[in-house]
Amino acid sequence: MKKVAVLFADGFEESESLTIVDILRRGGMECLMVGVTGREMMGVHDINVRADVELREISADDMDMVVIPGGYVGVDALMHDMAALQLISDMNEKGKFVTAICAGPRVLDRAGVLDGKKYTCYPGQEEKIKEGTFEEAIVLRDGNLITSRGPATCYAFAYALLDALGGDSLAVKNKMVYFNAFDEASSHRETCPDSVKVPEKNRKVAVLMKEGYEEGETFSIVDIMRRLGIECTTFCFDEDLWVKGMQGMMIQADEKFGESIEEYDAVVLPGGRPGGPNLIADPQVMDLLKRWNETPGKILSALCFGTRALAAAGVIEGKHMTGYTGYDQFLTGAIFETKVAVADQNLVSSQGPATGYPFAFKLAEVLGYDPSIVRSRLMYDYAGGILG
């Protein structure tokens, strides 16, 4: 088993960082969330995570790969952390993998490992990098250096890291439904609006977190909702707000499930095992879905195993929806479609762990938001056009 250190500093990009950890762990790698600015770090979209270890607890001798996520604030913190820069430099000297995504290559540049190497990064960041040769690519490998461009390319990036470490990315892609991860509108768009279209009334989205939820898909949704200016709150069901996910990540919910959820316009049920079954087993969740199904204006949404919670609550009859591969046999009563994301009446559904982006965009549209500019900033259309 290869060991990977993903460096977390306050201000990290949540959707790309957590997805990378998620995929590497699915692929059988020992992937450590390494705290650089503390044991608990707050992401750029106010998602609080707990590291597995602190930077002082690891060394270049222990690791096979180091990963630098994006997020301008987090990147700036890493660029000024001498211990982090030394780890990167030491690993490069030992011929181990040094990797980065989005604005992360700036940290590699500061550590002095880009000289004579080809790299890629988020558009415009190459202007701030002194060494190396920039090339436009979803993922670019040059020897022990692997780089990628932005939040929506984190899937392709993580799969490339997995392959470099000797893992089987194809098996993980298939299980995550990655080949369905980009909707029909994905292409190289030439233009996008200058601002985000928002409804007259700000909408509120509640995301339910049970132990064993899918971390990558859950927080890509939360990330996108908050980028759009939607008030998105994560709810847990215990006094302790820290909830352990399917891949072992400890992430803090915003609030305990209670009466305040009635103020929300939409509820999101993520997948995960046992996260999904735990939602079904909770009478509070089943009651909420049944009541909201009869309440005008309330949106019920789910992806992956979460769609089976909708079925268990009896709220899908006669509605068009989608779900994880083979779930047509469980979503009886609905009109099953193979599209990546489907909206019908008060229901929004999607397929699997890698379809969190199109699911979030579809939900945003149902709530009255135009996600085009966020799609562009995430590089979703670029990534989808390449894949398609």
Residue positions annotated with a catalytic role? 102
Pairing of strands 250-252, 242-244: antiparallel
Alpha-carbon gap, residue 180 to 203, rounded angstroms: 28
Q: Most distant CA pair in the chain: distance in Å? A: 63
Which two tokens mark 85?
A: 């820069």
Assigned token pair, 252: 């803090």
A 10 A CB-CB count for 293 gives 18
Q: Are 212 and 244 in contact (CB under 8 A)?
A: yes
Who contacts 172 (Cβ-Cβ below 8 Å, separation ≥6)? 23, 26, 27, 159, 162, 178
Q: Output the six-digit token pair for 335.
A: 């009109």
Instruction: Measure CA 151 to chain center.
Output: 8
C-alpha 243/C-alpha 218 separation (Å) is 12
Whole-angstrom distance, CA of residue 214 vs CA of residue 177: 14
